[in-house]
């Protein structure tokens, strides 16, 4: 509508206008409209060839057709035509979003070969690919090299790194980037503040996050729903629901309407702290605000009532969910399977697993690990049957699976076996997490206190050994494949 109004008022659209329109059509799955607009552009002959190239490449990138986008670039170069930085940026950003940072760097190398100066968008996109893979030291080194060469760097590049450090759980790195950005005279905008507040809130540093929120407001930057939701989530995670509710009221006073995410966060906060009446009241407040509950709302409440062992309410909300047009997703099934496993009703958990498969829902690692934890607690005969079912379903272990098994070695009085498997896993460079190290510490303490009452003669201990071997074997084979096909990335600056 705006495009048509623009034309009717005699305002001539340029390459940027069409770039936005075509990219929008492809981004939201309206491929035919995007192709039609490209054909109209060719007929109207309004733009130079390189602008048409920019628009075509951007549209194909949003549609996920990266090979075709790259083919357009290569064809232009073969014909002696010179695509603009915009076209290269579209492909670099698309490769980075897809996690193909090596391909992004190849395009960047090609761009530099033709003496095109990178823009701030180029730099940010390259950093994004590395950051999402957790390769933050490489990303930071790359940032410094680009700055040294005088390439344009803006707030976005620093914000990308900031989010990367928070994603990796490196609070010190995130704070260091924040301080360095300001020391270099690049002052944070609303997006950078939002990213920092969100990261601090998720890390449980809610006081620091709130102080930053006040600083943001003092600088005249208006917090949006994302910032408020981040803080509300941080307060809820710490059980400070009253402060979360106060922020929700403050949102309304500042002209912001609490959205479905706000209510879901608050409902989840109540459920996590077993105040189900308050969770239900928040659910009713959501209705009063004219918001329609989504699958997250229902899953949160079903999970809360499962934890409270109120199966009447669980069934009530399951029926309510169906009545409002929502089908159970993998999260719904995982919640219910966890509920049955926690209450030692493994037969019901298996029935739920079968129902999940019948509904065409694909199990995920949470499903497997929940069932695995239940198996380790169950009676031997049934545990072996369920284990066979899991292995038949192409069970893929992860670090959580490993932690489940290691913790059961300790619980069954076999701390030395737990440490033995930890040693074997470390030999194949298995990446332990914080939970793994806590289990190891517990195993060392158990040995020191001489808590070792199992002599590995029971069938249950043999089952644990078997499951641990399957897990170890999977990681060992995966490690071997990685060594056969090493990933390499050359930093070209």
Alpha helices in 114-189 (DSSP H): 120-132, 136-148, 155-168, 171-183
> Contact 276/304 with Cβ under 8 angstroms?
yes
Query: Alpha-carbon distance 407 to 403, whole Å?
Result: 6
Dihedral, 118, 120, 121, 125 alpha carbons, nearest 10: 90
- Compute how many other C-beta atoms are within 10 angstroms of the C-beta atom of residue 79: 9
* pLDDT score for 327: 92
**Assigned domain for 458 exists:** yes
Among residues 267, 202, 262, the alpha carbon closest in space to that of 228 is found at 262
Tell me how far apart the terminal alpha carbons of the chain are, to the nearest angstrom. 43
**Assigned domain for 288 exists:** no
Helices and strands (H and E) in the chain: how many: 27, 0
Among residues 201, 137, 206, 194, the alpha carbon closest in space to that of 165 is found at 137
* pLDDT score for 227: 94
**Assigned domain for 186 exists:** no
Task: Specify the pTM.
Answer: 0.72
Query: Alpha-carbon distance 78 to 64, whole Å?
Result: 23
* pLDDT score for 169: 87
**Assigned domain for 404 exists:** yes
* pLDDT score for 122: 81
* Interval 71-122: pLDDT, tens: 877 777 777 776 778 788 888 888 888 878 888 888 888 888 877 777 788 8
Which residue ranges in the chain fall short of pLDDT 50? 454-457, 486-493
Q: Which residue range forms the structural domain that includes residue 474? A: 399-482
Kindly list the distances between the CA atom of residue 131 and the CA atoms of 97, 164, 430, in Å, as whole numbers in the listed order.
11, 5, 21
Backbone φ, ψ for residue 234 (5° rounding)? -60, -45
As for how many domains the chain has, the answer is 1
**Assigned domain for 426 exists:** yes
* pLDDT score for 41: 63
**Assigned domain for 200 exists:** no
Dihedral, 385, 387, 393, 398 alpha carbons, nearest 10: 170
**Assigned domain for 206 exists:** no
**Assigned domain for 250 exists:** no
Question: What is the token pair recorded at 176?
Answer: 């260091």
* pLDDT score for 37: 72
DSSP labels, 74-101:
HHHHHTT----HHHHHHHHHHHHHTT-H
Cα–Cα–Cα angle for 20, 92, 72, nearest 5°?
70
292 φψ region: left (φ > 0), alpha (ψ -120 to 50), beta (else):
beta
């Amino acid at each position: 509508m705006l495009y048509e109004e623009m034309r009717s008022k005699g305002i001539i659209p340029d390459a940027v206008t069409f770039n936005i329109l075509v990219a929008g059509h492809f981004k939201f799955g309206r491929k035919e409209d995007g192709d039609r607009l490209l054909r109209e552009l060719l007929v109207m002959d309004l733009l130079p060839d390189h602008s048409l190239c920019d628009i075509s490449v951007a549209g194909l990138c949003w549609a996920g057709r990266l090979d075709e986008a790259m083919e357009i670039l290569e064809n232009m170069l073969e014909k002696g035509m010179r695509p603009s930085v915009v076209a290269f940026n579209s492909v670099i950003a698309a490769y980075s979003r897809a996690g193909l940072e090596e391909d992004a760097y190849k395009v960047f190398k090609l761009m530099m070969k033709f003496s095109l100066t990178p823009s701030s968008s180029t730099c940010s996109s390259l950093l994004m690919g590395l950051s999402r893979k957790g390769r933050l030291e490489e990303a930071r080194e790359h940032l410094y090299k680009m700055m040294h060469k005088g390439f344009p760097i803006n707030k976005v590049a620093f914000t990308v790194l900031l989010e990367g450090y928070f994603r990796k759980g490196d609070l010190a790195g995130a704070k260091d980037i924040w301080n360095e950005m300001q020391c270099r005279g690049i002052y944070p905008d609303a997006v950078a503040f939002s990213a920092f507040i969100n990261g601090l809130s998720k890390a449980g540093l809610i006081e620091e996050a709130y102080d930053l929120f006040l600083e943001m407001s003092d600088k005249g930057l208006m917090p949006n729903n994302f910032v408020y939701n981040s803080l509300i989530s941080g307060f809820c995670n710490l059980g400070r629901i009253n402060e979360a509710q106060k922020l929700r009221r403050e949102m309304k006073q500042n002209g912001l309407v609490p959205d479905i995410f706000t209510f879901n966060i608050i409902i989840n906060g109540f459920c996590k702290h077993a105040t189900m009446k308050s969770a239900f009241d928040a659910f009713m407040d959501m209705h009063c605000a004219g918001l329609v509950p989504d699958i997250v709302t229902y899953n949160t409440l079903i999970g809360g009532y499962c934890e409270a062992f109120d199966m009447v309410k669980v069934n009530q909300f399951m029926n309510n969910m169906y009545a409002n047009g929502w089908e159970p997703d993998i999260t719904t099934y995982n919640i219910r399977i966890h509920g049955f496993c926690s209450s030692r009703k493994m037969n019901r958990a298996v029935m739920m697993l079968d129902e999940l498969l019948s509904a065409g829902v694909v199990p995920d690692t949470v499903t497997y690990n929940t069932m695995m934890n239940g198996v380790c607690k169950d009676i031997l005969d049934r545990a072996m049957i369920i284990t066979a079912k899991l292995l038949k379903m192409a069970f893929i272990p992860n670090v959580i699976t490993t932690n489940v098994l290691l913790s059961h070695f300790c619980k069954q009085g076999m701390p030395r076996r737990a440490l033995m498997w930890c040693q074997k896993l470390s030999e194949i460079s298995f990446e332990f997490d914080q939970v793994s190290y806590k289990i190891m510490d517990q195993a060392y303490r158990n040995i020191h206190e001489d808590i070792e009452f199992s002599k590995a003669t029971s069938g249950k201990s043999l089952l644990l050994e078997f499951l641990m071997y399957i897990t170890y074997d999977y990681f060992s084979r995966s490690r071997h494949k990685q060594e056969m096909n090493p990933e390499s990335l050359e930093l070209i600056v």
